[in-house]
């Protein structure tokens, strides 16, 4: 489908264009001045509304699986679509299990299936003792890892020590992905709980010095390891000189702040208003102004919502008890508009909004090659944004699972009219959200993402090396892209189970004959080291066994019409010979399915190698 999006304000990295954004299928193919629309394109004129690169919210707690009653993929991504957000990056907590192992990763990917209205990237969790999982998680598609330096709020995601963080940084450095740190460190602070409804007491209990102490420790580790550290939700202006100095020394540091720190101020937060509770806390208007200065001068790189909702009871809304309320703000749907509201008052323009909410977060999560700006060749992920529209937020507007948000009652400026992901409208102002067309987007450097990104021809070649049945290859390919190893294996099995015996026989012809040494060597050239590794047992066999295998295979082929297929990994030639002799008397109607099962196992081993870049 070809669409020409006409706007007087197309926000590109080189300036605002009054012209046309041309989209072919899922890609941007041109950004041109003027009104001219090439033939074959359907015109969508958005008039005075702006077109910006889709917002990317790099800090969201979706909480599924396990705490889906707190949020969930469907509600979170609907809220995102309504905000003009085309991709969110989901934190490794507070789902259950937390995303600190491959098994938990697979559970999360499976839970997201068919529920996403925008694209979702996933973070891994770095906790004490799981450093050996981090590479696996990044190889599986995690875009970065996240750690806490104080208690995270949930016991199953323990905070890391300095030594843990050092190990994690060394591991992540090799992958060129950042470690995201919740930067607050215990400094012997105390919490005066005599009035549990007091907002001031909550703020005093999490002083700025906690952030500064953590940031200093992180910078030391950054200097020592040369790894990339990203500070999430900075909430103090007092750390800005420190950050600016470290950046000027060339340390690899990025910093995000959150819209609630840029929008609200402690002076205006009433006692008992626990919908404002988060950590670090929302501080004074002085801090708010300092954070704006930090953004404008580039010390702070980006903005992300840190959406971390909880049910009203967990937020202690009735009692207003700050000492027991969940610390986390429901704000995913309002981040860009809250930011723009404040920006308008400060005379800041749309290019800054595009930078802080799209270009910079795309870079953080390694997605810059295809996302984060309106340039030719990028994914057509964008938002039609009316910068002049205002809206008074009511509970009825909220797509989050729970209608608890400090933004209720606020008048926000700037409204997403249409949200487009990969060229498809996922939200528009009149009709709301369409179908769940989003997907999990993996770290582009991961083996699976690289396989997904191959040309159809190369994918077919790679798959044929795993299993030579052309029908199987075609059907697997039709279901790509795939989001996880388990989903690829499940797909491979499902398609294989539906294949015909002719398909099975076609796959078998792609194997070297076990024991036919000369044929075997010939085939090695075609399948490179794969078959050599799998059939190492054959290489070590003595001549007598090889001859018996060759003879047995000839008998087998004469009887069944195809060669003997066995998953040779870990088997000696003698063991294979025993298997061959045991299967030789089989009824042909039964044997084909035994051989097909062996092929299925071989396919798995080869798919595994494929994902590892084999
Ligand atoms: Zn968070």
> What is the reported pLDDT for 568?
81
State in Å: Cα 94 to ligand 1 middle: 9
247: CB partners within 8 A, 6+ apart:
253, 299
Q: What is the mean pLDDT of the chain?
A: 94
Of the CA atoms within 13 Å of residue 135, those in its CB half-sphere come to: 8
Are the C-beta atoms of residues 4 and 41 closer than 8 Å to each other?
yes
CA of 287 to the centre of ligand 1 (A): 20
Q: Residue 491 — very low, low, confident or very high, per pLDDT cuts 50/70/90? A: very high
CA of 308 to the centre of ligand 1 (A): 6
Confidence band of 529 (pLDDT split at 50, 70, 90):
very low
Between CA 208 and CA 206 the distance in angstroms is 7
User: How far, in Å, from the CA of 309 to the mean position of ligand 1?
Assistant: 10
How far apart, in Å, are the Cα atoms of 294 and each of 181, 207, 299, 413? 19, 19, 5, 22
* Cα 282 to ligand 1 centroid, rounded to whole Å: 14
Mean pLDDT score, 418-445: 95
Residue 527 has pLDDT above 60, yes or no: no
Task: Check: CB of residue 508 under 8 Å from CB of residue 595.
Answer: yes
Neighbours of ion ligand 1 (CB under 5 A): 306
Instruction: Examine the pLDDT at 2 and tell me if it is beyond 50.
Output: yes
Q: Rounded to the nearest whole angstrom, what is the distance from the C-alpha of residue 486 to the centroid of ligand 1?
A: 28
Q: What is the 280 CA–ligand 1 centroid distance (Å)?
A: 10
Tell me the CA–centroid distance for residue 368 and ligand 1, in Å: 22
Contact between 574 and 544 (Cβ < 8 Å): no
CA–CA distance, 127 with 131 (Å, rounded to integer) = 8
Q: How far is the CA of 307 from the centre of ligand 1 (A)?
A: 7
Burial degree of 368 (CB within 10 A; 0-12, 13-18, 19+)? middle
Handedness of CA 169, 174, 175, 177 (dihedral sign): positive
Q: Is the pLDDT of residue 430 over 80?
A: yes
Average pLDDT over residues 261-282: 98
- List pLDDT tens digits, range 456-478: 999 999 999 999 999 999 999 99
Q: Which of 359, 343, 347 is nearest to 413 (CA)?
A: 343
Q: DSSP letters of 374-402?
A: --TTSB--EEEEEEEEEEE--GGG--SSS
**pTM for the whole structure:** 0.92
CA distances from 54 to 80, 141, 365, 550, 612 (A): 10, 21, 14, 61, 32
Mean pLDDT on 479-506: 96
CA of 67 to the centre of ligand 1 (A): 15
Per-residue pLDDT band for 532 (boundaries 50, 70, 90) equals: very low
* CA 522 – ligand 1 centroid, Å: 56
- Residue 567 has a CB neighbour count (10 Å cut-off) of 18
Q: Give the distance (Å) from ligand 1 centre to CA of residue 276.
A: 14
CB 123 within 8 A of CB 144: yes
297 three-class SS? coil
The CA 76 to ligand 1 mean position distance, Å, reads 14
Cα 32 to ligand 1 centre (Å)? 39
pLDDT in tens, 583-611: 999 999 999 999 999 999 999 999 999 98
**Bridge partners of residue 386, in order along the sequence:** 415
């Amino acid at each position: 489908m070809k669409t020409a999006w006409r706007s007087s304000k197309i926000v590109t990295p080189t300036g605002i264009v009054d012209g046309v954004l041309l989209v072919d299928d899922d890609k941007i193919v041109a950004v041109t001045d003027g009104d001219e629309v090439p033939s074959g394109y359907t015109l969508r004129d958005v008039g005075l509304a702006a077109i910006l690169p889709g917002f990317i919210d790099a800090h969201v707690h979706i909480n599924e699986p396990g705490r889906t009653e707190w949020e969930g993929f469907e509600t979170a991504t609907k809220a995102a679509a309504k905000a003009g957000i085309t991709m969110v990056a989901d934190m490794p907590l507070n789902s259950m299990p937390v995303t600190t192992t491959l098994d938990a990763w697979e559970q999360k990917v499976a839970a997201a299936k068919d529920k996403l209205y925008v694209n979702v990237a996933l973070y891994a969790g770095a906790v004490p003792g799981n450093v050996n999982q981090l590479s696996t998680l990044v190889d599986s598609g995690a875009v970065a890892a996240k750690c806490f330096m104080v208690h995270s709020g949930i016991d199953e995601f323990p905070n890391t020590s300095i030594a843990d963080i050092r190990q994690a940084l060394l591991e992540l450095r090799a992958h060129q992905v950042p470690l995201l740190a919740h930067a607050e460190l215990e400094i012997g602070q105390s919490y005066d709980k005599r009035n549990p409804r007091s907002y001031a007491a909550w703020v005093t209990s999490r002083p700025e010095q906690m952030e500064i102490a953590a940031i200093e420790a992180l910078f030391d580790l950054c200097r020592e390891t040369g790894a990339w550290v990203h500070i999430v939700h900075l909430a103090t202006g007092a750390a800005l000189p420190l950050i600016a100095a470290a950046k000027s020394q060339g340390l690899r540091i990025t910093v995000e702040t959150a819209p609630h720190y840029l929008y609200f101020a402690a002076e205006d937060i009433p006692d008992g208003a626990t919908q404002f509770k988060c950590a670090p806390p929302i501080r004074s208007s002085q801090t708010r102004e300092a954070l704006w200065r930090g953004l404008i001068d580039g010390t702070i790189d980006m903005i992300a919502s840190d959406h971390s909702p909880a049910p009203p009871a967990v937020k202690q809304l009735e009692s207003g008890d700050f000492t027991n309320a969940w610390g986390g703000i429901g704000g995913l749907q309002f981040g860009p508009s809250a930011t723009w509201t404040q920006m308008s008052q400060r005379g800041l323009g749309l290019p800054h909004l595009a930078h802080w909410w799209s270009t910079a977060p795309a870079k953080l999560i390694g997605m810059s090659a295809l996302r984060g700006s309106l340039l030719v060749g990028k994914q057509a992920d964008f938002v039609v944004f009316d910068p002049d529209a205002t809206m008074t937020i009511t509970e009825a507007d909220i797509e989050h699972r729970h209608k608890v948000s400090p933004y209720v009652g606020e008048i926000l400026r700037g409204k997403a009219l249409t949200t487009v992901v990969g060229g498809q409208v996922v939200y528009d102002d009149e009709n709301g959200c369409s179908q769940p067309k989003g997907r999990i987007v993996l770290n582009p450097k991961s083996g699976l993402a690289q396989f997904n990104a191959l040309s159809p021809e190369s994918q077919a070649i790679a798959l044929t090396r795993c299993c030579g049945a052309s029908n199987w290859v075609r059907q697997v390919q039709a279901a790509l892209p795939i989001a996880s190893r388990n989903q690829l294996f499940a797909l491979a099995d499902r398609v294989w189970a539906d294949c015909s015996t002719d398909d099975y026989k076609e796959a078998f012809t792609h194997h070297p004959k076990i024991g036919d040494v000369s044929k075997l060597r010939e085939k090695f050239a075609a399948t490179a080291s794969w078959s050599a590794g799998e059939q190492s047992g054959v290489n070590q066999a003595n001549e007598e066994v090889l001859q018996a295998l060759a003879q047995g295979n000839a008998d087998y082929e004469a009887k069944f019409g195809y060669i003997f297929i066995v998953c040779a990994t870990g088997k000696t030639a003698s063991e294979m010979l025993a298997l061959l002799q045991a299967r030789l008397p089989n009824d042909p109607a039964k044997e084909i399915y035994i051989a097909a099962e062996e092929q299925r196992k071989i396919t798995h081993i080869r798919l595994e190698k494929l994902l590892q870049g084999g």
